[in-house]
Structure formats: structure tokens, C-alpha cells
Structure 1
């Protein structure tokens, strides 16, 4: 009961004080409140956009890592296919001689 009276008295005092503000003061305080709201909305928007971009970056990094693994696997396969013991074996099966000077590597 006492709290209700205090709250009512406080609301009355605030209401009376607001009524006594001039138009310039009301415009000033209103612009402060509006600026605060716009700033809060802007911060929320920017943080949301930042999270979206970070998510996209993580996806791109995963794709880069997957492509790097593919490249490494391809290099390993090339190394296995061009080792000289294997090439000599293929040349002997075909009845050819193995000449290491004729081997070129493409990069």
C-alpha cells in the first residue's frame, strides 16, 4: 500500500516535470532517446552481419582446406607414378630402355 503511494507520487512528480519542459527541452530529450534507439538497433544489426560474415569465412576456410587436401593427394599420386623404379618396370615390360634424362616434370 505504501509502495503504491510512493510509486504514484513518483509518477506524478515525473509527469509534472515533463509537463513543465519547454518544447526545446522535449525535442532535445526526445532526440537523445531516438538516437539511443537508433544506435542500439545499429549495433544489433552490425553484430548480426558480423556473425554472418564469420560463418561464411568458416565455410570458405573449410573449402580451402578440402581443396588443399585434394592437391596434396594429387601431388602424392604424381610422386608415386613418377618414381624411377616403377618407370623402369613399365619400360622393361614394354621392351624399352629407361632413360632418366627423358623424364620431365610438369608443375
Structure 2
């Protein structure tokens, strides 16, 4: 706990500073505060962007899974033996020369 003598010495020392020195030291303190606040703001913003990026990556993964599932379903529905069974059930014939692939 500081006693009265040390705080009095500090006050007299501050009073001995010229106006230019006070402005100089004040600007240093102000700059340090601004830098500290800016760092905190930028870190907060960085965390927000990382969170948004995580959300977007999760959405991409979900859509990729849906796309893979759809491709698998298309492959299962267009299997040759399945198409042959459908053709036979409706009394049709399957001719490979009439099959066209569209990509």
C-alpha cells in the first residue's frame, strides 16, 4: 500500500514535467489504449469469421453428402439388370443400341 510520501513524490514529479512532456506521455498512453482495443476487436472479429467458416464448411459437407447419396441412387436406378427386369415386366425388350448416355 503506497504511503503519502511516495504519492506526493509522484505528484511533484508529474508537476515538474513540461507541457510537451505531458503531451508526449499522454499520447503514448492513448496510443497503447487504442492498440489494445484494436487487438481485442480484431481477435473478436477473427473468432466470428472462424465460426462462420465452420458453419459454411458444415453446410458444404451436408450438401456433398446429399450429392453423393443422389449419385448412388441414380447408379442403383440405372443398373442394367434393373432396367431389364422393368422392360420384361412391361413386355418390352431392352436394346443396347438404343441407349444413349447424357452427361
Q: Write out the 4+ residue segments of structure 1 that deviate beyond 6 Å after TM superposition.
A: none
Per-residue deviation, 1:95: 1.2
TM-score under structure 2 length normalisation? 0.93
Give 3-state SS (helix, strand or coil) of 1:12's partner: helix
Aligned equivalent of 1:69, options 50, 65, 68:
65
Aligned to 1:8: 4
Deviation string, structure 1 residues 12-67 (Cα, Å, up to 9, x no partner)? 11111100000000000000000000000000000000010011001100100000
RMSD of the alignment, in Å?
1.3
- Structure 2 Cα separation of the partners of residues 8 and 84 of structure 1: 97
1:92 maps onto 2:88 in alignment: yes
Unaligned runs of 5+ in 1: none
Distance of 2:13 and 2:98 partners within structure 1: 97
Alignment of 1:3-82 (within 5 A): 7-82=3-78
Identify unmatched segments of 5+ residues in structure 2: none
Q: CA deviation at 1:10?
A: 1.4
Following the alignment from structure 2 to structure 1, what is the Cα–Cα distance between the partners of residues 8 and 97?
A: 100
The 3-state SS of whatever aligns with 1:104 is coil
